Chain A
Amino acid sequence: MTSMPTHEPIEPAFFGPPSHRLFGCYHEPQGWPVRDYGIVICYPIGQEYLRSHRACQYLASAAARAGFPTLRFDYYGTGDSAGDPDELALEHWRNDLLLAVEELRARSGVGPVILAGLRLGASLALTAAAQIDDLAGLVLWEPVVHGNAYLDELVALHDEAILRYFVRPQDYTPSPRPAELLGFPVGAPLRTALEKLDLLAVPPPRARPILLIESHSMPEHAALANHLGARARLTHEHVPSFTVWTDDVDKGLVPNQVIAAIVAWLEKVFA
């Protein structure tokens, strides 16, 4: 189902207050029944956003074809949304998530909402969950559990990318916490917020269904599963696939198995 190209109507639009315009694409639900639950897709950030845009678009399309009104959107300072990269901030993005939920409800008329995030998008979804009225559930796709480890990972990839330059940049000095990572500035507020990010310290939403899905078994995901399972109705799935957020965009890869597993879970839990 998910490997097919998308043909459902997509409505691209800006929303939010004039000083804080966000870009989103609304996927109208297709087929029957149209579900009473809406989905907001939460992208990763930076280079991971660029590389997984296609996968998130396919996920939104597949969810819409399963009858869920779905909205994916760019956080402030990212993608097509207003703002500059040096204004990036984790706290603002959580507020953007609330605006996106309002927008989805206004467009579709749904009440309960599911947040589905990939990588840092999943972390944002979990940390914003307590602020969402009528949250129906969460999909956490390869969430970033510890911000510090995430930064270390990005720094290693950044240094590797610089090494591949045709002519070595003389103005670049490796640093454990550079001011930019893989094409995007990382200002002090964002860096500090990421360093403090620890999903194991975030209270899980009580009694809500959560899907934690991963393609490569990671100890931090196992720890997160233990943490979430204590209060929420957790499903922890392992679906082998590739890491689309680090793969070359020009390969055009879409992790269809993972998308199919997510949509199957949504259909089963939110029938």
Chain B
Amino acid sequence: MNEEAIRFGPQRSLVGIVTDAGALANPELPAVVLLNAGLMHRVGPNRTYVQLARALAARGHTVMRFDFSGLGDSRPRADHLPYLESAPREARDAMDWLADQRGAHHFILIGHCAGAGVALLVARDDARVAAAVLINMEGGDASWTEYDRMKKVSQMHARDYGTRALFSRERWAKVLSGRADYRSIARVVFKDIIWYRLASLRFQVKRTVVKRQPALREKQASLASAYLDPIINRGGAMLLLHSEGSTGLEQIRATFGAELDQRIAAGSLDITIINQSDHLFTLVARQRRLCDELVAWVGQRCASYATKLVATSDDH
């Protein structure tokens, strides 16, 4: 396995690592670019990007993980472009470097959380992108973020009280001997568990009512056409990979509605759920599952994409 540290971009201010399998690297396969998960540097959550880079390189891909400007080892930009403009531009800088230096023609973009959002934007606009893998993509309006927070806080405290506190001799001793913080217990039970649960249920009910309105369906069709179809229409593919129970997938379903299911049925979009995992794939077994699922999907989609490319060139 070869790994090379590079600096690239117009000011050579972006830092990345390029991984390939040397003589076993297959230049016909799409090169892979891994995009920062939030503010975490290019090794990814729990070093999953390093694992993914090496696993994909072992199958012949050239892989680059790098830091967007101002993250990890890359310098901040002098032009102070906002993230949603600078990050897609820098993802294209990475593809340009791979095209110039490694002869790559097609690309697979992989992003986690905020990186998934960037992957989606670049896949929409750049015809060189053959596939995009969106891992635990989140987004949406502020009410979703608040709903997400309330749901998680409520779940966490309910689980803590239901599985630990209620059965803890030590905690009961504190309660019965007057040494407990009763105000804190009341706040957790009435606000964090009950009130937050009710509030998140109220949000879900509201969403269900809104879902039936024709205006929403039109909006969903328009969003699917703007964000999903560009890559699908040029023969590319998309994988939405989510941790079980993540509100991100609920958000995506709410954003695209039945349009999402139509594209899944047509075979151009896949959804994979990693069971019993958190947002960052903390357990090592879930990291392995993430890596295995992703490598298998890329292999399968690359074979299908190569067939489509041959068919397209025959048509011409």
Contact = CB atoms under 8 A, between A and B. Distances in A.
A94 B3 CA distance: 23
A82 B285 contact: no
Contacts of B42: 80
A165 B3 contact: no
A13 B75 CA distance: 16
Interface residues of A, number: 40
Contacts of A167: 244-245, 275-277
A53 B41 contact: yes
A185 B75 contact: no
B240 interface: no
B278 A184 contact: no
A85 interface: yes
Given A161-B278, A169-B283, A79 B47 contact: yes
Given A50-B46, A80-B17, A164 B5 contact: no
Contacts, number: 113
B65 to A, nearest CB: 8
B8 to A, nearest CB: 11
Interface of B: 1, 3-7, 15, 17, 38-43, 45-47, 50, 70, 72-73, 75-76, 152, 155-156, 159-160, 164, 243-246, 275-278, 280-287
Contacts of B285: 171
B39 A252 contact: yes
Given A183-B45, A185-B284, 12 more contacts: A6-B76, A12-B15, A12-B73, A23-B17, A25-B73, A162-B282, A165-B278, A166-B152, A167-B244, A180-B283, A184-B46, A249-B40
A260 to B, nearest CB: 20
A53 B72 contact: yes
Interface in A6-23: 6-7, 10, 12-14, 21, 23
A183 B285 CA distance: 10
Interface in A212-252: 249-250, 252
B118 to A, nearest CB: 15
A151 interface: no
A127 interface: no
Given A12-B5, A21-B3, A50-B46, A163 B160 contact: yes
B87 to A, nearest CB: 15
A93 B120 CA distance: 39
Nearest to A80: B17
Contacts of A12: 5-7, 15, 73
Given A25-B73, A50-B46, A80-B17, A183 B282 contact: yes
B245 A166 contact: yes
Given A183-B45, A184-B46, A14 B73 contact: no
Contacts of A172: 283
Interface of A: 5-7, 10, 12-14, 21, 23, 25, 47, 50, 53-54, 57, 78-80, 82, 85, 161-172, 180, 182-185, 249-250, 252
Contacts of B277: 165-167, 169
Nearest to A183: B46
B42 to A, nearest CB: 8
A24 to B, nearest CB: 9
A158 B40 CA distance: 19
Given A54-B39, A163-B160, A250-B38, A80 B3 contact: yes
A-B pairs, 7 with minimum CB distance: A166-B245, A183-B46, A12-B5, A169-B276, A5-B76, A167-B245, A250-B38
A49 B276 CA distance: 25
B207 to A, nearest CB: 18
Contacts of B5: 12-14, 23, 80
A250 B39 contact: yes
B43 A50 contact: yes
